[in-house]
Amino acid sequence: MMRGDARSFAPARKERAGDIDRWLTDLLRTACAMPYPRERGDAKGGPLATDERGTTLGVALVAVGSLGRGELAPGSDLDLVLLHNGRDDVARIADRIWYPIWDSGVGLDHSVRTVDEAAKVAREDLKAVLGLIQARHIAGDPELTRAVRETVLADWRADSRRRLAELRDSADKRAEASGELAFLLEPDLRDSRGGLRDVQAMQAVAAAWVASAPGPRVREAYELLLDIRHGLHLVTARGTDRLVLQEQDAVAGTLGLLDAEALMRRLAEAGRTISHAFDSTWRTVDRLLSGPVPRGRRPLADGVVEHGGEVVLARGVNPRKDPVLVLRAAAAAAEAGLPLAPATVTMLANQSPPMPVPWPDEARDALVALLGAGRAAVPVWEELDQAGVLVRLLPDWERVRHRPQRNPVHRYTVDRHLIETAAGAAAYTREVSRPDLLLISALLHDIGKGWPGDHSSTGEVVARDIGAHIGLPPADVEILATVVRHHLLLPETATRRDLDDPVTISRVAEAVGTREVLELLAALAVADGHATGPAAWNSWKASLVSDLVRRVRSVLSGTPLPPAPSLSPEQAALARHGGGAVRVNGGAVTVVAPDRPGLLWRAAGVLAAHRLVVRSAQAASAGSTAVIEFSVVPEYGTPPDPAMLESDLRLVLAGRLDIEQRLARRTRSMRPPRVPVAPPRVTVLEDASETATVVEVRAHDRPGLLWRIGRAFGECGLDVQAARVETLGAEAVDVFYVVDRAGRLLADEDQRNQVRNQVLAALR
């Protein structure tokens, strides 16, 4: 609960506003009742007329700002407008009101205007119009107040395109200057992104009839910020909005909270709630400013489509029957660079059944795909967090959610730091052999900060539990736990130990164990440093870590590549029959055919043309017969007709189907990706096999990827003897055993470079 048991000062603010209103009413009545000496030509001097109820006519006192909204904190100034109908002696009336306020020591921002003058100023000044939109009548002639509000609101709505663009620009500049409230060590409660002024901006958007007014969660967050500001004014005895470090414990005490950490955790949640709603509001505004969006629905994943610039569920999809749908939709949104529609998030949060434990492979793949989208994953992750989805998927996440890091080196709360690190790690997925474990360990590396004790040690324990929870195999759970346990090992050793001392290197090598873990730790160190803040990572530290990694790698033996795939007894039996055979059994597709160049990639092309995604594949041969086993899933919708798929595979084996032309048509119809991904990496390993040259390809998966790689091999005059293809989340890690047309290894350096460049060109 955002507020929890924090004390509310709302009754005190309401009482103070009432007292101020009565005082100002008396001041206006006294000022208007006093006779003024007439001057030559002054036709409107003397006491003002009143109606039958004693209401003063021709003059009105109007509150704007915090008094107008009824949010007056102990140190707040008064923002007042004296409206009049053109009286010549209004300056004297104003003086009779302003001087007693100044004498009381209360700060005052004041103006004197006719209705037309106020409307003119509002049309030209953003601050003025925002105040008058929420103006509140205090005393005097209510018709003047009504007239100015109606005029200002009508102008605001009529010119909403220009004024809302101006409001957005002002909010962005304010956020750039003041930072993001949820993640600042000493936040500005009013001007930071996620602060009080963002809610007031959303209220102004609602007044333009462009978007809905802030909902109950935003109003709760707003009230909490008002209470924190109220407590801050009580502690400091002045009207300040910056919650500095040394005041936080005292402010927490005024709210009845245990300590500053409890206060800042609630503040972070409130700020993120407001910031999230603010972004959603401006997406609505942007649609107004940019005009109508393209019609139609574009499939993104199974049960997920793009509609109107947002990600929604396909027609007829029932979230109650598909626990993985929420992660699949989130991954699709991140990979497309689009927001999840608010109604879709609400539906998924309310209707998704519990995820089976351990998670099915599809759920874990969707999580990895989401994280692998990089920066685009962060807003989608925030959507899931705001809807309460994350803590249901990963119960241990609750311990780090909104947890502040009271350290100037860190610029984010613990949970936001974790997703920022994972997003940053996506850029290094080509540097490691297990991109899925890199992304998951980046997400969990500081998970131990939710428990007492050394967070690396406690994090290892929690990471084991979460690894098993999400269905990782035991060997992968061990790697994950090791990486979390030692995620600070490289930067701390590099900056605090003598790298020329052999003992230093041997101890790191002993802790790391394998080159695979070392490369995971090296990539994580960079992503963690960048996500922490500018003070945590620089070129000096990067060079030291790189030097340490180089030295440790030299004493570690890498895990050798697994041997080239060989035929199982069942596959060997199929191969002995020779000829051609195609079997489609659910997601398993088996192709048996006389071995010839291009067989693998042509078969993969047929699968891509039928909108099937290859999750894994193995190719091997016995004599003159090749056997290829594919594990496939449909991109979206129902799987293709097995009979039609078999027919096309047989046609391509017989050389009677131009699969390249069909795929080219499909490629032209696809939209270019909106989210940048790490560039592909192709490595030619000379000594990994005695019978073939091994080519390792790491790339972001996309339809037809295997076909593109295989076609590039064909253009280089190579034959694929064997292959092991695997997709981890959205990252393809493929290994091919290739020879030239004469069956020889690629011994020439120029030839190896040609292969590398040809495959890279095919992937771009």
Give the pLDDT band of residue 201 (cuts 50, 70, 90): very high
Phi, psi (deg, nearest 5) at residue 179: 80, -170
Q: Where are the alpha helices (DSSP H) in 34-86?
A: 65-68
Outline where 670-723 has alpha helix (H).
Answer: 705-715
> How many other C-beta atoms lie within 10 A of the C-beta of residue 582?
20
N-to-C CA span, the chain = 48
CA 447 to chain centre: 18
For residues 403 and 287, what is the distance between their CA atoms, to the nearest angstrom? 34
pLDDT digits (tens, 9 = 90+) for 2-19: 777 889 999 999 999 999
Q: What is the pLDDT of residues 623-666, one digit of tens each?
A: 778 888 888 888 887 788 888 888 888 888 777 887 877 777 77
Q: How many CB atoms lie within 10 A of CB 125?
A: 12
Q: Which CA distances in Å does 320 have to 347, 356, 514, 635, 671?
A: 10, 13, 43, 21, 31
pLDDT of residue 571: 67
* Residue 417 binned pLDDT confidence (cut-offs 50, 70, 90): very high
Rounded distance, CA 692 to CA 243, Å?
Answer: 66
- pLDDT tens digits for 333-382? 999 999 999 999 999 999 999 999 999 999 999 999 999 999 999 999 99
pLDDT at 64 over 90: yes
| Structure confidence at residue 572 as a pLDDT band (50, 70, 90) | low
Q: What is the pLDDT of residues 25-34, one digit of tens each?
A: 999 999 887 6
Q: How confident is the model at residue 575 (pLDDT cuts 50, 70, 90)?
A: low
Each residue's pLDDT tens digit, 423-432:
999 999 999 9
User: pLDDT per residue over 131-162, tens digit each?
Assistant: 999 999 999 999 999 999 999 999 999 999 89
Residue 406 has pLDDT above 80, yes or no: no
Containing H/E element for 325? helix 325-336
Among 16-20, 37-41, 213-217, 433-437, name the one with the lowest average pLDDT: 37-41
Residue 39 has pLDDT above 60, yes or no: no
* Mean pLDDT computed over 47-54: 57
CB within 8 Å of 474: residues ≥ 6 apart: none
Stated length of the chain? 764
As a whole number, mean pLDDT of residues 239-253 equals: 94
Q: Identify the pLDDT of residue 437.
A: 97
Q: What structural domains does the chain harbor?
A: 10-158 (3.30.460.10), 183-200+209-282 (1.20.120.330), 431-558 (no CATH), 569-763 (3.30.70.260)
Q: What is the rounded average pLDDT of the residues 719-735?
A: 87
Chain segment 80-90, per-residue pLDDT in tens = 999 999 888 89
Q: SS in 3 state form for 423-470? A: HHHHHHHHHCCCHHHHHHHHHHCCHHHHCCCCHHHHHHHHHHHHHHHC
Confidence of residue 329 (pLDDT cuts 50, 70, 90): very high
Residues 663 and 325: beta-carbon distance below 8 Å: no
> Using 50, 70 and 90 to split pLDDT, how confident is the model at 40?
very low
Compute the mean pLDDT over every residue in the chain, rounded to the nearest whole number: 89
Is residue 601 very low, low, confident or very high in pLDDT (cuts 50, 70, 90)?
confident
- Residue 727 β-bridge partners: 732
pLDDT at 579 over 90: no
pLDDT of 311 higher than 70 = yes
Average pLDDT over residues 328-332: 96
Q: What is the percent of the chain with per-residue pLDDT over 70, rounded to a whole number? A: 93
| Residue 337 Cα distances to 105, 195, 333, 676, angstroms | 53, 26, 6, 9
Residue 43: what pLDDT? 46
How far is the CA of 257 from the CAs of 6, 400, 456, in angstroms?
6, 19, 29
Helix (H) and strand (E) counts in the chain: 30, 15
Tell me the C-alpha distance between 719 and 686, whole Å.
16
What's the pLDDT at 576? 62
3-state secondary structure (DSSP) of residue 628: strand
Q: Does pLDDT of 115 surpass 70?
A: yes
Give the per-residue pLDDT at 621: 78
DSSP 367-422: HHHHHHTGGGHHHHHHHHHHTTHHHHH-GGGGGTTT----STT--S-HHHHHHHHH
Residue 606: pLDDT band (50, 70, 90) is confident
pLDDT band for 41, please (50, 70, 90 cuts): very low
pLDDT tens-digit map of 514-554: 999 999 999 999 999 999 988 888 889 999 999 999 999 98
* Percent of the chain residues topping a pLDDT of 90: 62
Write down the pLDDT at residue 391.
96
Q: How does residue 689 score in pLDDT terms, banded at 50, 70 and 90?
A: confident
471: left (phi over 0), alpha (psi -120 to 50) or beta: left
Give Cα separations from 182 to 67, 167, 227, 237 (angstroms). Answer: 26, 22, 16, 25
pTM of the model: 0.86
pLDDT reported for residue 569: 72
Is residue 226 within 8 Å of 9, Cβ to Cβ? yes
Q: What is the mean pLDDT of residues 193-197?
A: 96
In whole angstroms, what is the distance from residue 574 CA to residue 591 CA? 10
Helix (H) or strand (E) holding 199: helix 196-207
Predicted pLDDT of residue 698: 92
Cα angle: 722, vertex 725, 731; to 5 degrees? 155
* Residue bearing tokens 């993001």: 180
